[in-house]
Amino acid sequence: MNRKIAESFGSSVTDYNEHATVQKEVANRLIASLKPWRDILPPGPILEVGCGTGFVTNGIVDLYPKREKVITDLSEEMVDFCRDRFQSAKNISFQQLDAEQLQTEEPKYGMTVCGFAAQWFKDPALTLGKLMEATRPGGLLLASFPGNESFPEWKKCCEDLGLPFTGNDLPDTEEIVIKMSTGPVQVDYYEDTVTESYPSALHFFRHLKNIGAGTHRKGRSLTPSEMKMLIRHWDSQNEEDITVSYHVVFLAVKRDHVS
């Protein structure tokens, strides 16, 4: 499945960079939340997983020009795009990495960052926990992801028609916060709703596919006739554009110094 996800995003690099507007907005807000931490991180490189086309990377490069930065993604094409985009940046390296397989013998990163990628992990809390373990005492894990209250409009239309909701399962905020709160850490999180408009439901589904986010992880897909029924019904609920709501979660976990 991870290879399928990587291939989907890899084939959509250009469209993702131009049209992933929610991801770009969330990345800007994630970087803005980092600024108070700018000068208090412990020594050590910064690790970013799920860099995509560099929305978060851009902010990290600006805030930490002198610190070593390791920028990674599951997709080789995304890594190559970032390498080209930031070729003039200093103290930066790029590599393909499956964050779920991350192994470190001891904490070595001053900060780990995961912007809008945790929803693709089989177990988001477990993988974010690995990133936390790779972060040095006094360091910070910073993450954002779409939470499981996303897409209420889509879910309501499926309920109206008696159709299964075929969107992927998204991280449960409460579960992640509880699991991340074990051990000597301080957990802060913030939830918000980001809305996007599309000319029609068909445009929304095409958007997901075009930016590489249309990979179906489990369960059955709708048949063509069911999909047409869903699109017609969703469109009929609106006189003009349809609105899609993303439940966005921002997570900051500071690893305490152990006395």
pLDDT tens digit string along 217-228?
A: 777 889 999 999
Residue 38 has pLDDT above 90, yes or no: no
Q: How confident is residue 258, by pLDDT bands cut at 50, 70 and 90?
A: low
201 domain-assigned:
no
Token digits of residue 177 = 């916060």
Angle between helices 76-85 and 2-10 (to 10 degrees): 40
pLDDT of res. 1: 62
The string over 63-95, giving b where at least 16 C-beta atoms fall within 10 Å of a residue's C-beta and e elsewhere, is: ebeebbbbbbbbbebbbebbbebbeebeebebe
**Averaged pLDDT for residues 62-68:** 95
Residue 216: count of CB within 10 angstroms of its CB: 13
Kindly state whether residue 219 falls inside one of the protein's structural domains: no
Is 165 inside a domain boundary? no
- pLDDT of 217 reads 75
Q: Which two tokens stand for residue 38?
A: 């700018």
Any idea how long the chain is?
Answer: 259
Domain extent, residue 16, equals 2-150+170-195+246-255
**Nearest alpha carbon to residue 251 among 153, 79, 127:** 127
* Mean pLDDT calculated for residue range 136-153: 96
Q: Is residue 69 part of a domain?
A: yes
Give the global pTM: 0.94
In a domain, 84, yes or no: yes
Look at 8-22, 138-152, 181-195 and tell me which has the smallest mean pLDDT: 8-22
pLDDT of residue 214: 79
pLDDT of residue 193: 97
- Residue 215: pLDDT band by 50, 70, 90 thresholds? confident
Count of domains forming the chain: 1
**Domain presence at residue 79:** yes
Does residue 160 lie in a domain region? no
The average pLDDT across 144-152 equals 97
Sheet strands side by side (includes 135-146): 92-96, 69-73, 46-49, 109-115, 135-146, 242-255, 185-198
Domain CATH for 126 = 3.40.50.150
Tokens representing 231? 């699109």
The whole-number pLDDT of residue 133 equals 93
Look at the block and give the residue holding tokens 């599951």. Answer: 74
Report the range of poorest mean pLDDT among 2-16, 98-112, 154-168, 219-233.
2-16
Record the tokens describing residue 241, joined without a space: 């554009």
Using pLDDT thresholds of 50, 70 and 90, give the confidence band for residue 54: very high
- When mean pLDDT is compared across 124-128, 188-192, 209-213, 254-258, the lowest value belongs to 254-258
For residue 151, what pLDDT is reported? 97
Is 51 among the domain residues? yes
Q: What is the pLDDT of residues 97-128, one digit of tens each?
A: 999 999 888 899 999 999 999 999 999 999 99
